[in-house]
């Protein structure tokens, strides 16, 4: 994994007391799975960012990278 990917993954956080410890974006009340669901409905990055101003483009990239690595069973995220 390169430095850029590692930096993106730092945006995905696991906080035990937040949303049941599920992966969130930057420790906020926005689940990685919610980002993925929005993408799966056909929303573009621009639409997601417009409707959810708390998110940044890198957050969407981080959610996709996290999901990809999770599917490969190679992701390592440290709890906050």
Listing DSSP states for 12-35 in one string gives EEE-TTSGGG-EEETTSS-BHHHH
- Asked if the structure places residue 67 within a domain, the reply is yes
Number of separate domains in the chain = 1
pLDDT at 75: 60
CA atoms of 20 and 73, how far apart (whole Å): 21
Domain that holds residue 67: 3-72
Please write the tens of the pLDDT for every residue from 26-79: 999 999 999 999 999 999 999 999 999 999 999 999 999 999 998 888 666 666
Nearest alpha-carbon partner for 45 in 31, 57, 62: 57
pLDDT band at 1 (very low <50, low <70, confident <90, very high): confident
Q: Give pTM, 2 decimals.
A: 0.87
What's the average model confidence in pLDDT over 7-27? 93
Beta strand 12-14 pairing with 23-25: antiparallel
- Asked if the structure places residue 28 within a domain, the reply is yes
- Asked if the structure places residue 77 within a domain, the reply is no
Contact 31, 23 (CB under 8 A): yes
- Asked if the structure places residue 60 within a domain, the reply is yes
């Amino acid at each position: 994994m390169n430095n850029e990917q590692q930096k993106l993954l730092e945006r995905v956080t696991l906080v035990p007391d937040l949303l049941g410890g599920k992966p969130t974006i930057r420790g906020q009340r926005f689940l990685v799975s919610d980002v993925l669901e929005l993408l799966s409905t056909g929303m573009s990055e621009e639409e997601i960012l417009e409707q959810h101003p708390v998110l940044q483009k890198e957050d969407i990239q981080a959610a996709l990278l996290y999901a990809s690595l999770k599917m490969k069973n190679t992701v390592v995220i440290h709890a906050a």
